């Protein structure tokens, strides 16, 4: 049984306010941080940079996702949410996105 994957978008074509599927390499990861959301408790967050053959983009992982990738791994983000963060596009999994590890080429 094969799964249907939406067509991928190049990072250079990403625009804020859209959902996209990309394939990229994890270029850099920042340390995991914890913060206190307004509702109380603590939540984990981790920022990083993804790169494909066209450009780089900031990305953010939340909660259980923060330990799911390592620098140098190839990943696919399916239905990731692109938003404007400090004047530049940033992608996250949002509410419906999925992160998949890809085998090395």
Q: Find the angle CA(8)-CA(10)-CA(15) to the nearest 5 degrees.
A: 100
From 88, 33, 78, select the one nearest 57 (Cα to Cα).
Answer: 88
Tokens of 13: 């074509």
pTM of the model: 0.88
Tokens of 23: 């394939």
Position 5 confidence tier, pLDDT thresholds 50, 70, 90: low
Over residues 78-102, the mean pLDDT reads 94
pLDDT digit string, tens, across residues 39-86: 888 999 999 999 999 999 999 999 989 999 999 999 999 999 999 999
Q: How far apart are CA 50 and CA 10, in angstroms?
A: 11
- Domain at 11-102, CATH homologous superfamily: Nucleic acid-binding proteins (2.40.50.140)
Give the single-character DSSP code of 2: P
- 104 pLDDT higher than 80: no
């Amino acid at each position: 049984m094969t799964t249907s994957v939406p067509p991928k978008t190049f990072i250079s074509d990403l625009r804020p306010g859209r959902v996209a599927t990309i394939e990229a390499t994890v270029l850099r990861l920042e340390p995991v941080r914890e913060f206190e959301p307004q509702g109380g408790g603590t939540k984990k967050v981790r920022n990083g940079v993804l790169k494909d053959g066209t450009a780089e983009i900031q990305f953010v992982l939340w909660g259980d996702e923060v330990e799911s990738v390592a620098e140098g791994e190839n990943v696919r983000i399916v239905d990731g949410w692109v938003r404007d963060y400090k004047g530049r596009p940033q992608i996250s999994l949002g509410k419906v996105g999925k992160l998949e590890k890809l085998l090395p080429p």
